[in-house]
Structure 1
Amino acid sequence: MAKGYWIAMVDIADMAGYQKYIAANKAVFEKFGGRFLVRNGEKTVVEGNPRSRVVVIEFDSYQRALECYRSPDYQALIALRAPCSEADLVVIEGYE
Protein backbone atom coordinates (compact mmCIF):
# COMPACT_ATOMS: atom_id res chain seq x y z
CA MET A 1 0.00 0.00 0.00
CA ALA A 2 1.34 3.42 -0.98
CA LYS A 3 1.98 5.93 1.75
CA GLY A 4 0.16 9.25 1.89
CA TYR A 5 1.70 12.67 2.25
CA TRP A 6 0.70 16.18 3.11
CA ILE A 7 2.73 18.77 1.25
CA ALA A 8 2.13 22.27 2.57
CA MET A 9 3.58 25.64 1.65
CA VAL A 10 2.78 28.36 4.15
CA ASP A 11 3.30 32.09 4.58
CA ILE A 12 3.00 33.20 8.20
CA ALA A 13 1.66 36.66 9.04
CA ASP A 14 1.53 36.20 12.83
CA MET A 15 4.21 33.90 14.24
CA ALA A 16 2.86 34.05 17.80
CA GLY A 17 -0.53 32.84 16.58
CA TYR A 18 1.07 30.21 14.36
CA GLN A 19 3.04 28.87 17.34
CA LYS A 20 -0.30 27.97 18.97
CA TYR A 21 -1.14 25.88 15.89
CA ILE A 22 2.28 24.18 16.00
CA ALA A 23 1.89 23.36 19.70
CA ALA A 24 -1.56 21.85 19.15
CA ASN A 25 -0.92 19.89 15.95
CA LYS A 26 1.54 17.34 17.37
CA ALA A 27 -1.15 15.32 19.15
CA VAL A 28 -3.40 15.25 16.07
CA PHE A 29 -0.63 14.10 13.74
CA GLU A 30 0.49 11.44 16.23
CA LYS A 31 -3.11 10.18 16.50
CA PHE A 32 -3.17 9.55 12.74
CA GLY A 33 0.41 8.31 12.49
CA GLY A 34 1.74 11.43 10.77
CA ARG A 35 5.52 11.89 10.76
CA PHE A 36 7.25 15.10 9.77
CA LEU A 37 9.77 14.54 6.98
CA VAL A 38 10.30 18.23 6.27
CA ARG A 39 9.45 21.04 8.65
CA ASN A 40 10.93 24.02 6.90
CA GLY A 41 14.70 24.35 7.13
CA GLU A 42 17.30 25.60 4.71
CA LYS A 43 16.12 25.66 1.10
CA THR A 44 17.07 27.02 -2.27
CA VAL A 45 14.27 27.88 -4.67
CA VAL A 46 15.42 26.76 -8.11
CA GLU A 47 12.07 27.18 -9.92
CA GLY A 48 8.70 28.73 -9.16
CA ASN A 49 7.45 30.78 -6.25
CA PRO A 50 6.90 28.68 -3.12
CA ARG A 51 5.75 30.16 0.13
CA SER A 52 8.22 30.85 2.94
CA ARG A 53 7.59 27.62 4.90
CA VAL A 54 7.54 24.11 3.40
CA VAL A 55 6.26 21.08 5.35
CA VAL A 56 5.99 17.41 4.32
CA ILE A 57 4.20 14.92 6.57
CA GLU A 58 4.15 11.17 5.87
CA PHE A 59 1.26 8.85 6.77
CA ASP A 60 0.99 5.07 6.48
CA SER A 61 -1.52 5.43 3.64
CA TYR A 62 -3.20 8.00 1.43
CA GLN A 63 -6.50 7.19 3.13
CA ARG A 64 -5.02 7.84 6.57
CA ALA A 65 -3.65 11.18 5.37
CA LEU A 66 -7.12 12.18 4.17
CA GLU A 67 -8.72 10.95 7.40
CA CYS A 68 -6.39 13.17 9.39
CA TYR A 69 -7.20 16.25 7.33
CA ARG A 70 -10.94 15.61 7.41
CA SER A 71 -11.04 14.76 11.12
CA PRO A 72 -12.80 17.09 13.55
CA ASP A 73 -9.47 17.26 15.41
CA TYR A 74 -7.63 18.79 12.46
CA GLN A 75 -10.54 20.91 11.34
CA ALA A 76 -10.39 22.58 14.75
CA LEU A 77 -6.70 23.30 14.15
CA ILE A 78 -7.49 25.10 10.92
CA ALA A 79 -9.29 27.69 13.06
CA LEU A 80 -5.93 28.33 14.78
CA ARG A 81 -3.87 28.35 11.57
CA ALA A 82 -6.08 30.28 9.14
CA PRO A 83 -6.16 33.69 10.87
CA CYS A 84 -2.37 33.89 11.12
CA SER A 85 -1.20 32.29 7.87
CA GLU A 86 -1.98 31.52 4.26
CA ALA A 87 -1.32 28.00 3.01
CA ASP A 88 -1.42 25.73 -0.01
CA LEU A 89 -1.82 22.11 1.06
CA VAL A 90 -2.12 18.95 -1.00
CA VAL A 91 -2.77 15.41 0.21
CA ILE A 92 -1.08 13.05 -2.23
CA GLU A 93 -0.52 9.33 -2.64
CA GLY A 94 3.10 8.22 -2.61
CA TYR A 95 4.78 6.31 -5.42
CA GLU A 96 5.55 2.65 -4.85
Structure 2
Amino acid sequence: MAKGYVIARVEVTDPQAYAAYARVSAEAARLHGGKVLAKAGAYVELEGEARPRNVVLEFPSLAQAVAYYSSVEYQAARAKRAGAAIVDIVAVEGVDEELGA
Protein backbone atom coordinates (compact mmCIF):
# COMPACT_ATOMS: atom_id res chain seq x y z
CA MET A 1 0.00 0.00 0.00
CA ALA A 2 1.28 3.46 -0.87
CA LYS A 3 1.91 5.90 1.94
CA GLY A 4 0.19 9.26 2.16
CA TYR A 5 1.84 12.62 2.68
CA VAL A 6 0.59 15.97 3.88
CA ILE A 7 2.68 18.82 2.50
CA ALA A 8 2.29 22.32 3.87
CA ARG A 9 3.90 25.53 2.66
CA VAL A 10 3.61 28.21 5.33
CA GLU A 11 4.31 31.87 5.89
CA VAL A 12 3.91 32.60 9.60
CA THR A 13 2.39 36.01 10.38
CA ASP A 14 1.88 35.57 14.15
CA PRO A 15 4.65 33.40 15.63
CA GLN A 16 3.08 33.07 19.08
CA ALA A 17 -0.29 31.88 17.78
CA TYR A 18 1.41 29.63 15.22
CA ALA A 19 3.49 27.99 17.97
CA ALA A 20 0.28 27.05 19.80
CA TYR A 21 -1.10 25.57 16.56
CA ALA A 22 2.12 23.64 15.89
CA ARG A 23 2.03 21.92 19.29
CA VAL A 24 -1.57 20.77 18.89
CA SER A 25 -1.10 19.86 15.22
CA ALA A 26 1.91 17.66 15.97
CA GLU A 27 -0.06 15.73 18.59
CA ALA A 28 -2.97 15.30 16.16
CA ALA A 29 -0.59 13.89 13.54
CA ARG A 30 0.89 11.47 16.04
CA LEU A 31 -2.57 10.27 17.08
CA HIS A 32 -3.37 9.53 13.43
CA GLY A 33 -0.19 7.61 12.66
CA GLY A 34 1.71 10.57 11.22
CA LYS A 35 5.46 11.01 11.22
CA VAL A 36 7.20 14.35 10.66
CA LEU A 37 9.69 14.09 7.80
CA ALA A 38 10.47 17.79 7.44
CA LYS A 39 9.50 21.02 9.17
CA ALA A 40 10.95 24.49 8.92
CA GLY A 41 14.69 24.20 8.39
CA ALA A 42 16.74 25.29 5.43
CA TYR A 43 15.20 25.26 1.97
CA VAL A 44 16.19 26.23 -1.54
CA GLU A 45 13.67 27.92 -3.82
CA LEU A 46 14.09 26.11 -7.12
CA GLU A 47 11.06 27.26 -9.07
CA GLY A 48 7.87 29.19 -8.39
CA GLU A 49 7.06 31.00 -5.19
CA ALA A 50 8.44 29.43 -2.01
CA ARG A 51 7.27 29.98 1.55
CA PRO A 52 9.70 30.17 4.47
CA ARG A 53 8.30 27.17 6.36
CA ASN A 54 7.74 23.79 4.71
CA VAL A 55 6.32 20.73 6.45
CA VAL A 56 6.06 17.14 5.23
CA LEU A 57 4.13 14.55 7.24
CA GLU A 58 4.05 10.85 6.33
CA PHE A 59 1.05 8.61 7.02
CA PRO A 60 0.49 4.90 6.37
CA SER A 61 -1.91 5.79 3.51
CA LEU A 62 -3.50 8.70 1.68
CA ALA A 63 -6.79 7.90 3.42
CA GLN A 64 -5.11 8.25 6.81
CA ALA A 65 -3.50 11.53 5.77
CA VAL A 66 -6.91 12.90 4.80
CA ALA A 67 -8.45 11.47 8.00
CA TYR A 68 -5.82 13.35 10.03
CA TYR A 69 -6.67 16.64 8.31
CA SER A 70 -10.40 16.04 8.76
CA SER A 71 -10.09 14.92 12.38
CA VAL A 72 -11.54 16.75 15.36
CA GLU A 73 -8.02 17.00 16.77
CA TYR A 74 -6.54 18.69 13.70
CA GLN A 75 -9.52 20.97 13.21
CA ALA A 76 -9.02 22.18 16.81
CA ALA A 77 -5.38 22.90 15.93
CA ARG A 78 -6.43 24.63 12.72
CA ALA A 79 -8.71 26.96 14.72
CA LYS A 80 -5.64 28.07 16.72
CA ARG A 81 -3.85 28.88 13.45
CA ALA A 82 -6.58 31.24 12.18
CA GLY A 83 -4.96 34.54 11.29
CA ALA A 84 -1.50 33.31 12.28
CA ALA A 85 -0.24 32.13 8.89
CA ILE A 86 -0.76 31.95 5.16
CA VAL A 87 -0.89 28.24 4.35
CA ASP A 88 -1.18 25.92 1.37
CA ILE A 89 -1.74 22.24 2.27
CA VAL A 90 -2.09 19.21 0.02
CA ALA A 91 -2.34 15.49 0.66
CA VAL A 92 -0.63 13.26 -1.89
CA GLU A 93 -0.29 9.55 -2.41
CA GLY A 94 3.24 8.17 -2.40
CA VAL A 95 4.72 5.52 -4.62
CA ASP A 96 3.49 2.00 -3.87
CA GLU A 97 6.76 0.33 -2.80
CA GLU A 98 5.47 -3.15 -3.70
CA LEU A 99 4.52 -2.12 -7.22
CA GLY A 100 7.31 0.39 -7.74
CA ALA A 101 4.78 2.83 -9.18
Q: Name the TM tier (shorter chain).
A: over 0.9
* 2:80 aligned residue: 80
Q: Which runs of 4+ in 1 moved over 6 A?
A: none
In structure 2, what is the Cα distance between the partners aligned to 1:82 and 1:45? 26
Other structure's SS at 2:51 match: coil
Between Structure 1 and Structure 2, which shows a larger proportion of helix residues?
A: 1
Q: Percent identity over the alignment?
A: 39
TM-score (norm 1): 0.95
Number of residue pairs matched by the alignment: 96
Q: Which runs of 5+ in 1 are unaligned?
A: none
Structure whose CA Rg is larger: 2
User: Is the Cα–Cα contact under 8 Å of residues 4 and 93 in structure 2 kept in the other structure?
Assistant: yes
In structure 2, what is the Cα distance between the partners aligned to 1:5 and 1:30? 13
* Residues 5-84 of structure 1 mapped to structure 2, 5 A cutoff: 5-84=5-84
Q: Which runs of 5+ in 2 are unaligned?
A: 97-101
TM-score (norm 2): 0.90
